[in-house]
């Protein structure tokens, strides 16, 4: 049986994704050979990475997502600032910061808790809401690392707008030679105000 690589996420509206690409275009040009940039169509806010799942679990996960989403009204969050994990000195992931309202954190905790009860592993680290925009390539030199750090320090990003969370989605991720392809398997709407 083929397993599916899956995750639960919130979509980012097109106008916000376009604003992210516009705000980071100089950065992307400056370090293009050192970073794999996330294509605009793949930008999302991950609530829970599930890893490899059995296709037979999609219905159960869909029911869980529906039950969790049904507990929340639609809400907004804002995006601003540029950062990197684990640190600016050793960047591995480049991201846009998300100002998380309590409802976003509560939604993520509910999904994490229910996923754990269904047998999926919990994250070792706490939820740190962010929008991944790039991943630094492996095996770079100290000079290349310094180039990335300087480019990050020289890029100032203020507010990129506000995104509405009105649904939660289950995706599968297919790793292709050209990059990841995400396919939505299920969507659960949040309650309308």
Q: Which of 56-60, 99-103, 121-125 has the lowest mean pLDDT?
A: 121-125
- For the chain, the average pLDDT equals 94
Q: CA 126, CA 90: separation in Å to the nearest integer? A: 20
Residue-level pLDDT at 125: 82
Q: What is the mean pLDDT of residues 32-46?
A: 95
Q: What is the mean pLDDT of residues 58-75?
A: 96
Helices (H), 48-126: 58-69, 102-117
Residue-level pLDDT at 123: 83
Residue-level pLDDT at 179: 84
Beta strand 4-11 with 75-86 is unpaired
Model confidence band, residue 100 (pLDDT cutoffs 50, 70, 90): confident
Q: CA 136, CA 131: separation in Å to the nearest integer? A: 15
Is the pLDDT confidence value at 1 over 80? no
User: Which top CATH class is 4-189?
Assistant: alpha beta
Which residue has better confidence, 55 or 89?
55
Instruction: Give percent above pLDDT 70 in the chain.
Output: 99
Backbone phi and psi for residue 84, each to the nearest 5 degrees, phi listed first: -150, 150
Is the pLDDT confidence value at 85 over 90? yes
Backbone phi and psi for residue 16, each to the nearest 5 degrees, phi listed first: -75, -45
Q: CA 193, CA 174: separation in Å to the nearest integer? A: 35
For the stretch 106-159, pLDDT in tens is 999 999 999 999 999 988 888 999 999 999 988 888 899 899 999 999 999 989
The full set of domain ranges for the chain reads 4-189
Exposure on the CB side of residue 44, measured as CA atoms within 13 A: 23
Residue-level pLDDT at 88: 85
Is the pLDDT confidence value at 193 over 70? no
């Amino acid at each position: 049986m083929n397993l599916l690589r899956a995750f639960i996420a919130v979509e980012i509206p097109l106008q916000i994704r376009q604003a992210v690409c516009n705000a980071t275009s100089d950065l992307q040009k400056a370090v293009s050979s050192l970073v794999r940039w996330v294509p605009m169509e793949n930008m999302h806010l991950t609530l829970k990475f599930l890893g490899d799942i059995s296709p037979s679990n999609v219905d159960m996960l869909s029911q869980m997502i529906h039950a969790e989403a049904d507990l929340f009204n639609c809400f907004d969050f804002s995006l601003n600032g540029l950062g990197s994990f684990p640190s600016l000195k050793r960047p591995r992931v480049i991201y846009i910061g998300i100002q998380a309202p309590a409802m976003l954190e509560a939604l993520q905790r509910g999904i994490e808790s229910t996923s754990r009860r269904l047998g999926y592993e919990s994250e070792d680290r706490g939820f740190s809401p962010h929008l991944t925009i790039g991943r630094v390539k492996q095996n770079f030199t100290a000079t290349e690392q310094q180039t990335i750090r300087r480019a990050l320090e020289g890029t100032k990003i203020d507010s990129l707008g506000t995104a509405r969370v009105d649904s939660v989605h289950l995706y599968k991720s297919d790793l292709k030679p050209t990059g990841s392809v995400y396919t939505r398997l299920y969507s659960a709407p949040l309650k309308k105000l």
